[in-house]
Structure 1
């Protein structure tokens, strides 16, 4: 880790020395044990948790006692990711890495469809081509449980503090985040960050210029001109495209209720449930497209956002699900694929079907410009 790491202590990923203490905290967390048991053994956990918890703790102590470094944790996570890909996708593919250098660090600005899976698929493609895995930006709204925060920071995640209030605190948070991203890129790691806060629930991928402005907070403080600073970050747009979205109905429900009543109230564990659904749900074919580094002179954050959007739209991999939903080029799609997707839509609650269809169709419109 960099020598000046202490100023990032509240947001940075854990280092080697912090892995085992974090593992012990997670294993000793009753909430973590209850979450695992209720997911794996929903019926038994209601009556036998007092027996199952000690057994589960012993299991995790056995499995995780030898993990004492970031590299070892990444190996463990890699095994879980491989299992997830083998069991929940029909195909995984990627493109564009031939244009990047494994010895360089990049700021990957990605479209955002799934809380946990987007960076996992990006990392898997990088691993397959012998690139280093990335540090992952994650909002503190997902870290309300201490064990979740520990798990994420053990896996090279750093915290975007969205919950801070007050102008002074917000500016301090932005400066620290911007400085951390720059320091990571210059010293030891690539970065993954979503193009905007929150997932694109409607299928529209749109970069928020505020993200680009956040990148420049550190550069502005150092009095580096905007075009020069942006070039120094090695920004690479990334498009992650799923043939099937395991959370499509959940997203549609939120959009529907917002449209109908102007509000949507999340349940207490909804974010955690979305993470689990995204990991365990069937995804069909998943493709990750890496764009080209931004090397031109961009004068404004809006100019940068426009270029990121352009590359994401152009590189987005259109699956049969997208084309069927948009009623485009269906003559080239097998009758089996058409029937399977239509059956999926029919299984959706009637009031949500149109919203889900639009979710799959919208990337086609973006691609065709």
Structure 2
């Protein structure tokens, strides 16, 4: 197969018998280039299928108008909603967003960051992968002077801007709700505690149990990747205990969905026998039967604030705090899976 040569600015200049510099200025709407020349250059560029080299342009200008976004999973309504609001806000300021997905993989997260830095992005907005325990690749972003804003999952030791919810208080509120429903043996399907948000959810869970004089039992606490499969596996293990829990708090709606499937397959009455609460307010939680109680993390608000934090970093020379930590209010949404009082109505 014949490889077609990529059209360059020199090809356009040769076709019009003008200088490459004039072509470059015409393509960028330079005021010193006449409208007639601009029109002719753009027409030839289209005919020759010219594709601008954005990387070269970024190197020349020191600005690419590109912002990289890294999410752990693209199939999550929470993360997709955050990305939508980031893109919506930044596009108004002339930025394009490059979206990458780590799939919860540390190595892929490192490669994503390497690619974004090579592309000369003006900033990176990221949420860490579950596997990430070493932060050198994030420190590398900082060392290059590229603005880094973390959302949802971030680490205090990075000392960068952060937008998220209060995971401790959100978790505490879930346990308090389950206690008010009469639950006394509450299990927790959590994320890995090396990640700050999941560590805080576990701490909130344990301290709530202590506060309400409920037992903290290691056999009721599990750490995992919070997938549907994890939820199914751990729920089955919990049911096989000599004394199963009467409530389950999952730190992810996906794990909660897996747990729900096992409960239904075993003909467990929800919430009478076992109540269930998830986390993130994924779309499916309100659509299935029984609907799943969950925590609304205000994804749209987090996305907008993350974008605005980036814009302040690059545009406002008077706004230079070392660290800007924005905590968004969460909301416990009580639905059928944990609302025992509704059964008495």
TM-score by length of 2: 0.32
Larger relative helix fraction: 1
Higher relative contact order, structure no. (Cα contacts within 8 Å, ≥ 6 residues apart): 1
Q: Which has the larger radius of gyration?
A: 2
TM-score by length of 1: 0.30
